[in-house]
Amino acid sequence: MAQWLAIAVGLAGGVLLSYFIGKAVLAPLVGRLKKPDRLIKLSLGGTVIAALPALLLSIVIGGPLGSAFGALGIVIGGAAVFATVLLAGTFAGVLLARYLT
End-to-end CA distance of the chain: 48
pLDDT of res. 60: 93
pLDDT of res. 67: 87
Alpha helices for 33-100 (secondary structure H)? 36-57, 63-66, 70-100
Nearest alpha-carbon partner for 87 in 24, 27, 22, 31: 22
Please give the chain's pLDDT, 101 residues, in tens: 788 899 899 999 999 999 999 999 888 888 787 778 888 899 999 999 999 999 999 999 988 888 889 889 999 999 999 999 999 999 999 889 888 87
Domain segments of the chain: what residues? 2-100
